[in-house]
Amino acid sequence: MRIQSLPPQLINQIAAGEVVERPASIVKELLENCFDAGAKNIQVDIEQGGVRFIKIRDDGCGIAKEELALALSRYATSKIASLADLEHVQSMGFRGEALSSMSSVARLSLTSKTLNSEEAWCISSDGAEEIFDIQPAAHPQGTTVEVSDLFYNTPARRKFLKTEKTEFSHIETLIKKMALSRFDIAFKLTHNRREVINLKIADSQELQQQRIASICSKDFSSNAIAIDFSASGLQLSGWVGQPTFSRSQADRQYFYVNQRLIKDRLISHAVKKAYQDVLFHGRHPVFVLYLTLNPALVDVNAHPAKLEVRFREGRLVHDFLFSALYRSLAEQRPKPITETTDIDYSSPTESPTAVNYASNNHNYKTTQAQIPLSIQEATPDYIVRPLNNETLTENTVKTFPTLGFAVAHLHNTYILSETQEGIILVDAHAAHERITYERLKSQYHQNNIATQPLLLPIKITISADEANCAEQQQPFFKNLGFELNRISPETLLLRTVPILLAKANVEKLITDVLSDMMVQESSDRIQDKTHAILATMACHNSVRSGRKLTTDEMNALLRDIEITERGNQCNHGRPTWVQLSKNVLDKFFLRGQ
């Protein structure tokens, strides 16, 4: 076949294959145009899941009459004019393909009025026109785009669409996601003339919380951790769900880069890693997060539909996100109910902190019997509440610690504690497991890594490139307890390993780490493997169900969990404690009704 130029409509239909996957794709592109036009109110009307009809109206700046025809041509845009603009894109749209692609696979009508125009103008297209007929129309300031009969001229693509219910579900989900990126815009959505979404402008924190609750559920608002973290020119804000507030699917995860809704594997990995120690197996966190950075540091032109971005310093962004989320989750401890008061203790033995438990010298290979419940020096002092019928005196505690004081050990498993506002049940094993695990990790990260020379050094055969990488990364391996030397162009000799990994398949671990480094310049395999071993050790070395605890031991455990990072969950993501307020208890027994 001879080389020949393709007709314009076919060119646009090919482009539409990348931009217009389904009705929701059209809605996304048009909403982004509304954002860029400075709209404050957006009305979306859908019929038959968007296949039959899509109408989007905004009150933005509008399009001048002389630019309407140009707006429907390919590679025409007001967003950029040079390569420099492309490298600093701050608008949602910029490629200039959306409207021409839509008109090539559907019937499109565009009506618009600018602020200074006396009347509105309308232009229509089905992708085949070369000369457009622009007609006057009645329309307020802003723009309305109507798209009907999607894929009427490409029936093969129409067969790939799902049911009306499914296609509309994609549209509804998309609008909710985009509404979370722009609290300064009001959104309305109807389907077959029935109102589905009506979101007012959220110009206060209270209204923003209401919008988040309406989209992510009311439970999310009460189980969310606020994030506000800045470093190295990056800022992360938003909300992440408590580890115990998770889902079976990753369907409530909203991430925005400079207000642009995106999906990115680097971001997903950073979030997953941050939740690694606290999330139950097979569960997915819920979050609404906003990353703000210099537009020059992110390439938004990496995907035709602009759903993916490419960070110029991916590792920096990954580590920033991980650090922000990891620290935010680590800081989640039981919240104080009231402020403590200074108390003059008549005897140091009246405080559970004075119980003589060893707290800072746990050995990696100790057994449960060798790890007593302990109190760290940083624990605030409290007087133990009298457990008999003594009369409370002035010297008795005036306020409760966060997790209260132990009253009983139920079924040799759960600690029943009384607080000023109700009662708390603590899973003794889960709580002690978290305490022990955090202490073991602290020792590990302080480079107190015990190593073990191998009686017979292990030869590891790899490629020359991997051997070069291993040679360059010798300090990395040494800091983790591995003595790894290159003895030939394609052979490494492993002489020393960390004691924690002595029984692991270290040869495979080393080759996997090098493989990671060759692809992404870093690897967390050794740390992840070590943390997994520490978690197992913590589990086995923690107080077991069935062991009867004394009152002092129970109170010591309560004080420890109050100051332990990630203390609200055990290493497997299970809650360590639950609380019932006096109001809830009163309702159980119909008191006050």
Q: What is the pLDDT of residues 474-495, one digit of tens each?
A: 887 887 788 999 999 999 999 9
Q: In what order do the strands lie in the sheet with 422-427?
A: 405-410, 414-419, 422-427, 577-581
Q: What's residue 319's pLDDT?
A: 93
127: helix, strand or coil: coil
Confidence of residue 459 (pLDDT cuts 50, 70, 90): very high
Bridge partners of 56, per DSSP, are 44, 145
With a cut of 90, say whether residue 235 has pLDDT above it.
Answer: yes
pLDDT at 530: 75
Phi/psi at 412 (nearest 5 deg)? 55, 30
Alpha-carbon separation of residue 83 from 80, 138, 309 (angstroms): 8, 38, 17
Residue 120 has, within 13 A of its CA and on its CB side, a CA count of 17
In the predicted model, what is the mean pLDDT of residues 453-462? 93
Over residues 99-123, the mean pLDDT reads 94
Q: How confident is the model at residue 537 (pLDDT cuts 50, 70, 90)?
A: low
Domains in the chain with CATH codes:
8-199 (3.30.565.10), 217-330 (3.30.230.10), 348-442+543-588 (3.30.1540.20), 452-539 (3.30.1370.100)
pLDDT at 324 over 90: yes
Residue 230 to residues 167, 320, 564, Cα–Cα distance (Å): 39, 9, 24
Per-residue pLDDT tens over the stretch 163-217: 999 999 999 999 999 999 999 999 999 999 999 999 999 999 899 999 999 999 8
Please, what is the Cα angle at 9 between 4 and 13, to 5 degrees? 100
Lowest model confidence (mean pLDDT) among 5-14, 392-401, 565-574: 392-401
Q: Tell me the average pLDDT of the chain.
A: 83
Average of pLDDT values for 120-124? Answer: 96
**Does the predicted model carry a pTM greater than 0.85?**
no
Q: Max alpha carbon distance in the chain (Å)?
A: 102
Q: For residue 87, what pLDDT is reported?
A: 82
Phi then psi for 55, rounded to 5 degrees? Answer: -135, 125
| pLDDT at 242 exceeding the cut of 70 | yes
Rounded to an integer, the average pLDDT of 308-327 is: 91
β-pairing, 310-311 vs 405-410, is unpaired
What integer pLDDT is reported at residue 540 of this predicted model? Answer: 67
Residue 276 reports pLDDT greater than 60: yes
Q: What is the pLDDT of residue 34?
A: 96
Contact 275, 329 (CB under 8 A): yes
Tell me how far apart the alpha carbons of residues 476 and 523 are, in angstroms, rounded to a whole number.
10
Task: Name the more confident of 46 and 525.
Answer: 46
- What would you report as the CA-atom Rg of the chain, rounded to the nearest whole angstrom? 31
Q: Which of 101-105, 242-246, 356-360, 449-453 bottoms out in mean pLDDT, i.e. has the lowest?
A: 356-360
Instruction: Assign 557 a pLDDT band (cuts: 50, 70, 90).
Output: very high
290, 256 Cβ separation under 8 angstroms? yes
Would you say the C-alpha torsion 277, 282, 283, 285 has a positive or negative sign? positive
Give the N- to C-terminal CA distance of the chain in Å, as an integer.
Answer: 87
Write out pLDDT tens, residues 12-69: 788 777 788 999 999 999 999 999 999 999 999 999 999 999 999 999 999 999 999 9
For residues 205 and 399, give the distance between their C-alpha atoms in angstroms, rounded to a whole number.
Answer: 32
Phi, psi values for residue 439, rounded to 5°: -70, -40
Res 354: pLDDT:
26
Under 8 Å between Cβ of 561 and 577:
yes
How far is it, in rounded angstroms, from Cα 529 to Cα 52?
A: 53
Predicted pLDDT at 335: 67
C-alpha–C-alpha distance, residues 321 and 285, integer Å: 15
Using a pLDDT cut of 70, give the percent of the chain over it.
88
Among candidates 187, 147, 144, which has minimal Cα distance to 24? 147
Which of 6-15, 31-40, 438-447 is modeled with the greatest confidence? Answer: 31-40
- Other C-beta atoms closer than 10 Å to the C-beta of 469 total 17
pLDDT of residue 573: 81
Percent of the chain surpassing pLDDT 90: 48
Which has the higher per-residue pLDDT, 570 or 180? 180
Give 500 or 125, the one with higher predicted confidence.
125
H or E element at residue 164: helix 164-179
Residue with tokens 């929701």: 24
pLDDT at 272 over 60: yes
Query: Six-digit token pair at 252?
Result: 């409530």
Record the tokens describing residue 533, joined without a space: 């071993």
Q: Is the model more confident about 245 or about 391?
A: 245
Predicted confidence band of residue 542 (pLDDT cuts 50, 70, 90): confident
Contact criterion met (CB below 8 Å) for 543 and 429: yes
Identify the band that residue 554 occupies on the pLDDT scale cut at 50, 70 and 90: very high
Beta bridge partner(s), residue 417: 406, 424
